[in-house]
Amino acid sequence: MGGFWPFKKKPPETEGQKIVTYSADDNSSEELLSDRSHIEDEQYKAALDLLTKPHIEMPDGGDPSVVEVLNSDTSSNLEYVQSDDGYWYLKKEDGTFDPQPYLKNKDGSYSKYSS
């Protein structure tokens, strides 16, 4: 049998229900909506710039979906290895891989992936 336990368990404190009352004369929501001080905040402006301005530059007078072919010579000794994500990666001479993903074209050449 266990020893004597000198401490007793306290009963939980009962919390009364909090009563929330609303009135038709409450102007706090209007005050919140009219407060526009956050628009002058520098972090807000920076975030808005990131969302409204594209972070990828569009080529001058070009179509952003045009793919530039990098390896049109099939006699080169560059080795591309296909990954589980469906992209091809250039294997370097030291055994490491280039982080730039490539797409394999229908003619067997490879081009850089651009979103």
Domain presence at residue 114: yes
Domain presence at residue 78: yes
Least confident range from 24-28, 54-58, 77-81: namely: 54-58
User: Mean pLDDT across the stretch 22-40?
Assistant: 78
Length of the chain: 115
What pLDDT does 64 receive?
Answer: 57
Domain presence at residue 82: yes
Domain presence at residue 4: no
Which range of residues forms the domain containing residue 107?
Answer: 71-115
Domain presence at residue 28: no
Please name the residues in contact with 82: beta carbons below 8 A apart, sequence gap of 6 or more.
Answer: 88, 104
Domain presence at residue 79: yes
16 pLDDT above the threshold of 50: yes
Q: What percent of the chain has pLDDT over 90?
A: 0
User: 46 phi and psi, to 5 degrees?
Assistant: -65, -40
> What is the domain count for the chain?
1
Reported pTM: 0.34
Per the structure block, which two tokens stand in for 34? 């009219």
Confidence of residue 25 (pLDDT cuts 50, 70, 90): confident
- What ranges in 1-115 are assigned the alpha helix state H? 28-34, 42-52
Looking at per-residue pLDDT, the higher value among 65 and 47 belongs to 47
